Structure 1
Amino acid sequence: MRRGFKVLLWIVLGPMALLLLLGLAWLACNGRWADADPQPVPPELLPQAVTLAPQDNAFFDAQGLRAPQGEAPNAWGQRSWRGEVSGEAGLLALPSGEDWNCNAAKEDCVARWRTAAAGLKAQMANASLFGERCKALAARPSFQEPAPVRRPRPPGSSSFEALALPQFGGVTHCMRWLQIEAVLAPDAQRAEPSWTRADALLRLFASGSQTLLGQAVGWATVMRHQQLLAQWAARQPGGAALPAAWRAPLPARLLQPRLWMAAESHFQRETDGDQMFDMEPNPLHAWASRHSLGHLPQLTIQAMSAYWLADMRSFGHLQGPALARQVRGKPDPEVSWWRFLRWRNTVGHVLVEVARPAFEGYALRQADLVLSQAALDLSQQLNVLPAAERADWWQRQMLDAGIRERLNLEGDALTVRTWRGEVEAAHAAPLRFPLRPG
């Protein structure tokens, strides 16, 4: 009987003791004491530092475009960036509506705006101060977007709320203002100043944006602006061509992923420590956060940086077809729950896998800029030819194979099959760059 009792005791207590030892071993490998030593961030993953004085940086003018009447946009933008202003009270109202928000990728905005000219002009007259600020912003010489900075964080708030994030809605409204002003001008000569300001604003923004948000706004703005130019040029008299300055190559920093990859990795490093415990922690969360059980901050950050660094060195300095080929040729990650399980830094490794830089879609959007640039330039060369000669001219053009296979001359338009459209069904339709009737 006694022997049987001992066997039963071993059967019951043995697994419990084993589990206890296993738990203690896991704790030994997953407390703050088990974390790695801090390592310097690889230089490639450091965001670009701002070298301009705040009053000379058009970034703050952009943040202050909607500043209340009587406020200086730059000074108000600086206060906004520091978190010293809040709410919408007193901010300038912006034009809006379906006509204002016309998407050149889906319809002929030149035709729509000219049909709705009276309503658009009335909106712009009511927001004339905003329009003047847009023109002043376009004339500024330098723009440098700072990386998100951490502000003092109120207890119980999200870590993301402690980061200053830029507001670019005013910039996109400025672009739309200048575009509509150009389209509604009575002739090309009087439209030219507005188109020139729009081009200057676009290139100013492209010269200094570095976050993923800022760059993505730049990509979308470029694509729509170039289609608008093509739509407007198609309605100009024969022989007229867009000035070469409006078709000049875009800055490499807008075409290559390296800047937003560095800024995005910086954003992850800034927010990682709070991702698991950032909303009004209960006692268990507070205890786990205090002891970092299962989440070793340094190991987590170093693993994230390793992923970013590998992608940076793989395609961070590429653009156009080369960028698209490299991104599309990247092997898909292993589809298995086992890849989430690690003995050491268990929770941190889950964060790494969830936040792993799976940003290929953004890189493809960036690669599409080269297609759009080529389409605009070629459409202007086709515009000066009689319609009967265009097909033969098109066949003789020597283009990069990666660009040539995605452009097609279809009657009265040059069409573009984007790389983005292959991974996002909503953007699968080819983009149209209309040609002047022959």
Structure 2
Amino acid sequence: MLDIQFVKDNREAIAEAIKNKGVEADLPKLLELDDRRRGLITELEELRQQRNRLSAGSGEQAAEAGRKLRQEINRLEEQLKPLEEEFNAELYRIPNLPSPDTPVGNSEEENEVVYESGSKPEFGFKPKPHWEMGQFIDEERAVRVSGKRFSFLKGDFVLLQLALIQYGLDVLTDESVLAGITKDKGLKVASKPFLPILPPTMMRTKPYLATNRLQMKGDTFKLAEDDLWLTGSAEHTLCAYFLGETLEQADLPVRLVGYNTAYRREVGSAGKDTRGIIRQHQFDKLEMESFSDQETSFEEHKFMIAIQEYLMERLELPFRTVLKCTFDMGGPNIRGVDIETWMPGQDLYRETNSADYLGDYQARGLNTKFISADGKRQLVHTNDATVFCQRHIVAILENNQLEDGRVRVPKVLQPYLKGREILG
């Protein structure tokens, strides 16, 4: 979330961000709530000062005045509590300001292509969509067991996924490889490797709200009898890793890479991508998360994008990098970038990766800080980005398919599959 004073000092820019991002936020209501709560807080402080002065006195008259003050303080505190809750709920809805280079747009069609790599494969036959490759994916049985938008992934698909994840982990934990990426892209960031994490797949409401990723009436599954939600991505728990903690600036950046199963209700996706595994209720993801200071956070964002492009190019998949427009980027983001990969069986590009630059927006709610060299406590800046997910396997299946239904293994993954060149 944003600092309320920043919101008040930048009302026009905030109102513009609300409009351009298409988020449900009520700036006038927030400001009115802030005025009311500040009035109550001021009144409470004055009453507490009076009580403190009375406590030094004695006698029945002072005691009676003290009792009345306590009653009035209790009454105002009871008024303040729900007001604070309503204020915080409105503040969480206020979006981050987009970066100056973010395109203003009303749909993903207005995203800007900033980089392209690879050539679309040519086939001597009509390429199949991945859902027609039955040796890898069994939707029919999964529907009987779990309902729509679930799949049994089997055989070589499973081996390919494990190979892909291990390859991603090998790159992100290899300082020499990361140093090469920073050098090639001319980035001024440390080549410090990522710490592998297997995070929880559930979060309590309060910390989840603080991440600004919880969609209580949207895509997030709720465990009805518990204060727990199934997370929609590994970065949701990773960004809360240092909840309420203060780090040392010398330890920054802290980089985590987490692998877990994610869950989404896919509300609003009725009729979309009903076949295949593009939109599933359950899927696996490998995600990056970074905690840094203000001076290096944007370079950290570019570093994560550089890692994504490095991995995609070594998989030899045709892709394009797009700068997301205001409507498509999400409320917490300062800047958002997607990688879209060509899917020949579907004859279109699909989002496979995203990279989110959030500044101190999440850290404020999570109360994650660092002590700077001059001893001051400051909020960290966060970045998150996709390494690999099951959409990457879809891209491999569709781009590397052979006429007989088998699939060529990308050279970089062959060592993880005992040297196999063909799957299926």
Higher relative contact order (CA 8 A, sep 6+): 2
TM-score bin (small chain): under 0.3
Higher strand share: 2
Which one has a bigger Cα radius of gyration?
Answer: 1
Higher helix share: 1
The alignment's TM-score, normalised by the length of structure 2, stands at: 0.25
